[in-house]
A = this chain, B = another copy of it.
């Protein structure tokens, strides 16, 4: 059962819960805005009544989704997540996040950031630690990549999103980056999910390519249950039998998640398709299906990219996408958040 309380009553609520739920195993709490969400195992109607009478309970939700803290009923209007103070995901705004798959050098990231901003992106993505299927593929620049990101962030003011691959480096990454990304291969690495739940940074949680929507929401529940409400979900394609695309982008899942959960959802059409000529149509489709943003691979020189160059957009394709996206979003009554795109001419 989910109990929605006021955040200001947190101490009193905790006291009451501990008094009435004998072994509070399975009890989780998460503060979202000025509300405190509390999940207790089973349906504790007496407890709910008592809390209601003493003014500690705003409302109770008898929940069946298996992921109560992420359930739509917990935050009916949907939650809004801040990225680095200057941007938000969720609500009416649409967040465009762009950057290279991997940080390769200061020059490359700096050029990417300029491109990203010129196209209207509100945050910069870039991988320092790259989880690669093969040990012989480029594994990212590691700490050096983090420092480059921090430098470009300072220069441009763009918040940066980067992947964290193990609990041991969560703290280090959280020092340099604004948003901690959990990649598809760690989507059910529960130790890592608990660690980012305590890191004090928003989390961009990619769907595991072999995971159902239900499992994805339960993965998010691990983060919220550790106290961190700032989770942005990211659909990036699932495994299917179709070989024409690298993965099968499951846009239905976006609509399903918007129905089931209050968390914002963005889409990664770059990893989802694996081919640059498919990124624009799927990006527009993601906007139309109701996604709250996009994560797009861009690169100043895709042909030289050390990682996933086939899916990276060059400057022209990126600006073309950003322009078309504005029109589609406007038709849906949505806006790109904050930042206006510079004209292509200025940007060059």
Q: A167-B168, A252-B282, A287-B288 are in contact. Are A189 and B190 (CB under 8 A)?
A: no
Q: Does residue A156 face the partner (Cβ distance < 8 Å to B)?
A: no
Q: Does residue A239 face the partner (Cβ distance < 8 Å to B)?
A: yes
Count how many chain A residues have C-beta atoms less than 8 Å from C-beta atoms of the other chain.
74
Residues in B neighbouring A324, C-beta threshold 8 A: 332
A285-B134 Cα distance, complex, nearest whole Å: 31
A278 close to B249 (CB less than 8 A): no
The residue that A281 contacts in the complex, of B136, B166, B213, B288, with Cβ under 8 A, is B288
The residue that A241 contacts in the complex, of B136, B241, B289, with Cβ under 8 A, is B241
If over half of A's interface residues share one DSSP class (helix, strand or loop), that class is named, otherwise mixed; here it is helix
A166-B191 Cα distance, complex, nearest whole Å: 6
| Residues 266 to 288 of chain A near chain B (Cβ within 8 Å) | 272-273, 277-278, 281-282, 284-288
Q: Does residue A23 face the partner (Cβ distance < 8 Å to B)?
A: no
Interface centre among A131, A136, A245, A277 (most CB of B within 10 A): A136
* Smallest CB gap from A257: residue in B: B244
Residues in B neighbouring A245, C-beta threshold 8 A: 252-253, 256
Residues in B neighbouring A239, C-beta threshold 8 A: 210, 239-241
* Smallest CB gap from A243: residue in B: B212
Shortest CB distance A301–B (Å): 22
* Smallest CB gap from A240: residue in B: B240
A288 close to B284 (CB less than 8 A): yes
* Smallest CB gap from A284: residue in B: B288
Residues in B neighbouring A289, C-beta threshold 8 A: 281-282, 284-285, 288
Q: A134-B221, A282-B289, A328-B331 are in contact. Are A248 and B259 (CB under 8 A)?
A: no
Q: Does residue A28 face the partner (Cβ distance < 8 Å to B)?
A: yes
B253 close to A244 (CB less than 8 A): yes
A168-B186 Cα distance, complex, nearest whole Å: 16
Residues in B neighbouring A66, C-beta threshold 8 A: 134, 136
The residue that A243 contacts in the complex, of B167, B191, B243, B332, with Cβ under 8 A, is B243
